[in-house]
Amino acid sequence: MTVGNTRHQARTLALQVLYESDVASHEVRDVLTRYMEDHSEPQRVRRYVERLITGIQNNLEDIDGRIADAAPAFPVEQLPAVDRNILRIAIYELTNEQDVPKKAAINEAVEIAKQFGGENSGKFVNGVLGTIANGLASSH
């Protein structure tokens, strides 16, 4: 399994965990534990899912602030749960995972948004992440 496939599987699983936690108000740790028990993912996938979930939880205020700054017309809490959590995963990767190419994180988020989100999710996610990535590039 390639690094890209590992990360794709991990992002998709992380989205499912975050989505359930978000819409059902279940504790994210409980959902993660259940998913890890219910799925027989390779160890590399499991480790990356846990890293994503933990990183997002530890940086949630910063991540949601970046979403709010990049898309001020769309309050974070009013975004569709799928879009909101795809953005959280990608923003965490853009700001914290140095070995994940920025373009790959954005492209993957757009593809996942097209797969799981609404009709305009891919465009919306692409726009928000493009704004954030441009801001990160100019701050370095």
Sign for the CA dihedral angle at 50, 124, 107, 64 comes to negative
Buried residues in 4-15 as b, exposed as e (16+ CB within 10 A): eebbbbbbbbbb
Task: Return the SS3 of 26.
Answer: coil
For residue 128 the two structure tokens come to: 């928000």
Confidence (pTM) = 0.95
Structure tokens at 44: 């590399």
Number of structural domains the chain divides into: 1
Domain that residue 10 falls in: 3-139
What number is the average pLDDT over the span 67-89?
A: 97
Instruction: Give 100-138 pLDDT, tens digit per residue.
Output: 999 999 999 999 999 999 999 999 999 999 999 998 877
d(CA 85, CA 31): 15
Categorise residue 79: left if φ over 0, alpha if ψ from -120 to 50, beta otherwise.
beta
CATH code for position 39: 1.10.940.10
**Which tens digit of pLDDT belongs to each residue from 20-71?**
999 999 999 999 999 988 878 899 999 999 999 999 999 999 999 999 999 9
Closest of 110, 105, 102 to residue 127, by C-alpha: 110
